[in-house]
Amino acid sequence: MHNTYANKKPSLFLLVVIFYIVTSVGALLLGLLQPSIGIPEIVIQLTQFGPAIGAAVVLFLWRHKNRSLFTLDMRLWPLPVNRIIISAALIAFTFVGAWLWYTLTDHSVTYTPPSSLSHPFWLIVIAQFIGAAGEEIGWRCFLQPTLQQRMGVLPASIVVGILWGIWHVGVFSEGIMYASSFILFAVSLSVILGELMRNIRGGTLLLAAAYHALINLGLLLWFNEEDGSRLAMGTLSITCTMAAIIAVVVGQIIRSKKRSTNRTYRTTHI
């Protein structure tokens, strides 16, 4: 008997719902499994591999037909060096902006020296990248390109950001203000990543995972947002939103100039 789901032509909505359910259930089960394995959460959180499981299940269910319904972009090469430089600048803007606001409002940034962590920092860096890649396989390599081929980059980035933010269900235990700030933070990050990955020829997974991991490391070392600090989460969400706006506006300006140049070229070569 053929797989029922494989023989049906699913709607995009159904595909996203199945991906999201499997991602959430997979993350929950991995979270329950982690204590028994003994892997410390400060090194890596197994829940981060939930989105990769979600993408794998969707690919399996519709492996025979309707492959045009979804996109899986895991190209590793060529690595877009210019986008990496822009990524570093946007990350620096996000954290420096948050630090400046703390300074202007007489608040102190909670700095955690790498040497004081319970595990070697180099191990945490490697594990954070692996964990971020586990998430980004689902969010940015699967869901983002699948949605954006139907609704455009910016709307797709916003939808992915909302789903990504709500997926971190634990933030709701800190109250609605904290959760709202976190979701805004997630949407802003998603918009930035959507712009950075727009029209690149390779390096999608590496770029997304690196950006994600660096943000996580910055949060680990410089801010106490995981302690439920609304100031920390609110500040970071605002500075990240500003970085997202800059990324979108600059991207639009660059694309507009390229279109203008192309029109001029075609006109002068008729």
Distance CA 72, CA 10 (A): 17
The residue to which tokens 């997979």 are assigned: 26
Assign 73 to helix, strand or coil: coil
Q: Residue 10 is which amino acid? A: P
Write the DSSP assignment of 130-190 as a string of letters: HHHHHHHHHIIIIIHHHHHHHH-HHHHHHHHHHHHHHH-GGGGGG-HHHHHHHHHHHHHHH
Contact 156, 144 (CB under 8 A): yes
Q: pLDDT at position 79, please?
A: 81
The residue to which tokens 């202007």 are assigned: 104
Q: What is the pLDDT along the chain (270 residues), one digit of tens a residue?
A: 455 544 555 688 999 999 999 999 999 999 999 999 999 998 999 999 999 999 999 999 887 766 677 888 888 888 888 899 999 999 999 999 999 999 999 998 888 999 999 899 999 999 999 999 999 999 999 999 999 999 999 999 999 999 999 999 999 999 999 999 999 999 999 999 999 999 898 899 999 999 999 999 999 998 877 777 899 999 999 999 999 999 999 999 988 888 776 666 566 656
Of the candidates 207, 209, 210, 188, which has an alpha carbon nearest to the alpha carbon of residue 199?
207
Q: Residue 181 is which amino acid? A: S
Query: 88-120 burial by CB neighbour count: b if 16+ within 10 A, else e?
Result: eebbebbbebbbebbeeeeeebeeeeeeeeeee
Write the DSSP assignment of 200-260 as a string of letters: -SS-HHHHHHHHHHHHHHHHHHH--GGGT-HHHHHHHHHHHHHHHHHHHHHHHHHHHHHHH
pTM of the model: 0.91
Q: pLDDT at position 6, please?
A: 47
Q: pLDDT at position 155, please?
A: 97
> CA neighbours within 13 Å on the CB side: how many for 7?
4
Of the candidates 162, 140, 113, 262, which has an alpha carbon nearest to the alpha carbon of residue 209?
140
Distance CA 207, CA 123 (A): 20
Contact 186, 195 (CB under 8 A): no
